[in-house]
């Protein structure tokens, strides 16, 4: 067949893979013959769905280092349902090791995924994801192909342990480093936590970006219920992988493609869920990028649908618990049931198991009301991502209320400016730095083009002179991102970024800045004329870096944060029409 619009002839699905394996001419001979060198019997080419298992396994991506076993469980399920599993690797952009940031290569992984799916004899695909950027990257690539697709997440690691207490991965690092700078702990205490923070395979066990994106995948309907929260080493994770393998074969026969699941309503469900779980600000960028690939019009304004939704999941960094307790308490289905009871869940949104999201969760039970709070006892009454605008962020900026300090949500302070992250590191520990708890820390040139890749440096550590006063938070503003495991009154994704000569580039030391989260305002107290003059002067002196390679292409073609930081030439669904023969 010539495209991905699968039809059925009687009760038999006409498979995309038949364009490779279903003919008895020279081409069919060669495609089958080469595959048979792996010991595949001839009858496996007789009309069985070929299912790609897209694997981001890598020993350099610790979150995904157990994916070989997960893949085997998926393949067992595919075989049981009558499909043929074919596992293939794509670029594994691991958050913990990759420099300068995994966000730089998210689009590269998406390109790898898209072309691997489209160019191969695949009827449906299972996406094995976990570490932060692997989830959006693979969903972006798959969405541009629009074949039947199901997500299997590797799951969160076990709770960290330090001095007899549960500790959260990532969040522990930020907290202990601040304590070290404040003189509350010594270096031995700081280093003693290393061994206990990450005790098993899996992603961060806080509601960081990995857990958030796993929740987004389930909220979008692209995974089976409970996929988001089952711990990586729990045997039920293997059961879910097996069942997902079985289900993708059925999805091929049903022609249940991503475009039937990734609707505008599904994205709005995800936005409301992000508010309820206290999810990462990174979801704002990733959901926009996924929506752009499937053709759904999603904007920063749509995040207003999350405003007024209470944060009911009591997890670090916003709250107390970790992902193990979240799963044991009922996981994401329990959250979705409460959102449905609140009337903010679009109940008829379709999911990969062929049922609506409400059918999946209407009987879900919550087993711990302190982990998943009742609606009348939320962790934060208004938990949605706060979208800020003003002359400092004409196209928007974001703030996470559930991780911020209430007393700083309306604040006016004098700017202390760092032109780049290196300058921040060079100045922040200087006891002569003119800064106090009322100041506003401003970091520039850390956006998509500026860093490049928009690294997670927006949650700047506070200066020691302030920490030693017992101060735990200050207003921080940048065009960067922040780890989902981090916390504080941190304004992120200021758009346009400084490298694009957005107003952020013109902020000077001593300028006053107003933050009013309730009214969505981020304002630099500088006249329009003065702001324009400053930007014009900067334009005349700006130096454009030429690095060559992927990094140069990234800087030239990446979109801004409000557009999802995708490449401009990758936006859109290109489908999976069968390409021309290779010989």
Other CB atoms within 10 Å distance of the CB of residue 405: 15
Write down the H helix ranges in 81-170: 106-118, 134-143
Answer left, alpha or beta for residue 575, where phi above 0 means left and psi between -120 and 50 means alpha: left
CA distances from 306 to 130, 140, 268, 311 (A): 24, 23, 8, 10
- What was the pLDDT predicted at 12? 61
Q: Are 114 and 229 found together in one domain?
A: yes
Any idea what the CATH number is for the domain that residue 241 is in? 3.40.50.2300
Report CA torsion sign: 59, 60, 65, 68. Answer: negative
Domain that holds residue 187: 161-197
Q: Give the list of residues 6+ apart from residue 323 with CB closer than 8 angstroms, or none.
A: 156, 205, 206, 207, 211, 229, 231, 315
- What was the pLDDT predicted at 94? 93
Q: Are 411 and 287 found together in one domain?
A: no
Please report whether residue 372 resides in a domain.
no
Please report whether residue 67 resides in a domain.
yes
Q: Are 215 and 78 found together in one domain?
A: yes
The domain total for the chain is 3
Please report whether residue 312 resides in a domain.
no
CA–chain centroid gap for 431, Å, is 37
Query: How far apart, in whole angstroms, are the C-alpha atoms of residue 80 and residue 84?
Result: 10
Q: Are 151 and 170 found together in one domain?
A: no
- What was the pLDDT predicted at 157? 95
Instruction: Single out the residue of 260, 314, 308, 267 nearest to residue 290, CA to CA.
Output: 267
Q: Please name every residue paired with 87 in a beta bridge, in sequence order, or none if there are none.
A: 53
Q: Are 168 and 246 found together in one domain?
A: no
Q: Is 151 helix (H, G, I), strand (E, B) or coil?
A: strand
Q: Are 149 and 220 found together in one domain?
A: yes
Query: How far apart, in whole angstroms, are the C-alpha atoms of residue 328 and residue 373?
Result: 14
Q: Are 135 and 174 found together in one domain?
A: no
Residue 159 token pair: 């709770």
Please report whether residue 144 resides in a domain.
yes
Any idea what the CATH number is for the domain that residue 461 is in? 3.50.30.80
Q: Are 450 and 503 found together in one domain?
A: yes
Size (the chain), residues: 583
**Would you say 476 and 460 are in contact if contact means Cβ atoms under 8 Å apart?**
yes
Please report whether residue 422 resides in a domain.
yes
Other CB atoms within 10 Å distance of the CB of residue 14: 16
Q: Are 68 and 140 found together in one domain?
A: yes
**Would you say 169 and 209 are in contact if contact means Cβ atoms under 8 Å apart?**
no
Please report whether residue 334 resides in a domain.
no
Q: Are 191 and 107 found together in one domain?
A: no
Please report whether residue 530 resides in a domain.
yes
**Would you say 480 and 517 are in contact if contact means Cβ atoms under 8 Å apart?**
no
Which residue has tokens 């799951």? 155
**Would you say 356 and 490 are in contact if contact means Cβ atoms under 8 Å apart?**
no
Angle between helices 106-118 and 282-294 (to 10 degrees): 30
Please report whether residue 238 resides in a domain.
yes
- What was the pLDDT predicted at 164? 87
Q: Are 450 and 507 found together in one domain?
A: yes
Q: Are 144 and 166 found together in one domain?
A: no
Pairing of strands 386-390, 393-399: antiparallel
Query: How far apart, in whole angstroms, are the C-alpha atoms of residue 521 and residue 392?
Result: 9
Segments of the chain with pLDDT less than 70: 1-12
């Amino acid at each position: 067949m010539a495209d991905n619009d699968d039809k059925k002839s009687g009760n038999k699905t006409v498979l995309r893979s038949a364009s490779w394996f279903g003919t008895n001419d020279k081409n069919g001979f060669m495609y089958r013959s080469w595959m048979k060198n792996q010991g595949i019997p001839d009858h496996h080419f007789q009309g069985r769905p070929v299912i790609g298992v897209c694997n981001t396994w890598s020993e350099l991506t610790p979150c995904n280092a157990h994916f070989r076993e997960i893949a085997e469980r998926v393949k067992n399920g595919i075989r049981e349902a009558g499909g043929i599993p074919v596992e293939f690797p794509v670029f594994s952009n691991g958050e913990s090791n990759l420099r300068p940031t995994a966000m730089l290569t998210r689009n590269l992984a998406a390109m790898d995924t898209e072309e691997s799916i489209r160019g191969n004899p695949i009827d449906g695909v299972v996406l094995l994801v976990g570490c932060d950027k692997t989830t959006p990257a693979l969903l972006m690539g798959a969405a541009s192909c629009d074949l039947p697709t199901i997500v299997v997440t590797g799951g969160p690691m076990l709770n960290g342990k330090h001095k007899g207490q549960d500790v959260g991965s990532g969040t522990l690092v930020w907290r202990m480093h601040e304590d070290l700078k404040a003189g509350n702990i010594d270096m031995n205490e700081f280093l003693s936590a290393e061994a206990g923070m990450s005790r098993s395979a899996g992603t961060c066990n806080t509601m960081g970006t990995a857990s958030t994106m796993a929740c987004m995948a389930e909220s979008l309907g692209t995974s089976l219920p409970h996929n988001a929260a089952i711990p990586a080493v729990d045997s039920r994770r293997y059961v879910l992988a097996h069942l997902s393998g079985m289900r993708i074969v059925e999805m091929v026969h049903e022609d249940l493609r991503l475009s039937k699941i990734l609707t505008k309503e599904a994205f709005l469900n995800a936005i409301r869920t992000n508010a309820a779980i206290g999810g990462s600000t990174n979801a704002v960028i990733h959901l926009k990028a996924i929506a752009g690939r499937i053709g759904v019009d999603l904007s920063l304004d749509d995040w207003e649908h999350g405003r007024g939704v209470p944060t009911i999941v009591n997890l670090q960094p916003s709250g107390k618990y970790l992902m193990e307790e979240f799963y044991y308490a009922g996981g994401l289905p329990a959250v979705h049931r409460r959102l449905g009871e609140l009337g903010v869940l679009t109940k008829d949104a379709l999911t990969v198991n062929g049922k609506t999201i409400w059918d999946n969760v209407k009987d879900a039970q919550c087993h711990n009301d302190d982990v998943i709070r009742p609606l009348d006892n939320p962790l934060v009454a208004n938990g949605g991502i706060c979208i800020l605008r003003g002359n400092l962020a004409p196209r928007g900026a974001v703030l996470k209320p559930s991780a911020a300090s209430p007393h700083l949500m309306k604040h006016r302070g004098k700017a202390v400016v760092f032109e780049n992250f290196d300058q921040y590191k060079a100045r922040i520990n200087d006891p002569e730095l003119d800064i106090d708890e009322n100041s506003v820390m401003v970091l520039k040139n850390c956006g998509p083009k500026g860093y490049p890749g928009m690294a997670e440096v927006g949650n700047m550590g506070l200066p020691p002179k302030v920490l030693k006063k017992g101060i735990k938070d200050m207003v921080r503003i940048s065009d960067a991102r922040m780890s989902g495991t981090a916390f504080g009154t941190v304004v992120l994704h200021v758009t346009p970024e400084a490298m694009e000569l957005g107003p952020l580039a013109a902020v000077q030391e001593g300028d006053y800045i107003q933050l009013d989260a309730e009214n969505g305002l981020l304002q630099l107290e500088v006249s329009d004329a003065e702001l324009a003059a400053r930007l014009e002067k900067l334009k005349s002196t700006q130096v454009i870096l030429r690095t060559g390679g992927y990094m140069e292409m990234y800087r030239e073609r990446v979109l801004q944060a409000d557009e999802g930081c995708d490449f401009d030439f990758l936006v859109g669904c290109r489908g999976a029409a069968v390409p021309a023969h290779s010989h």
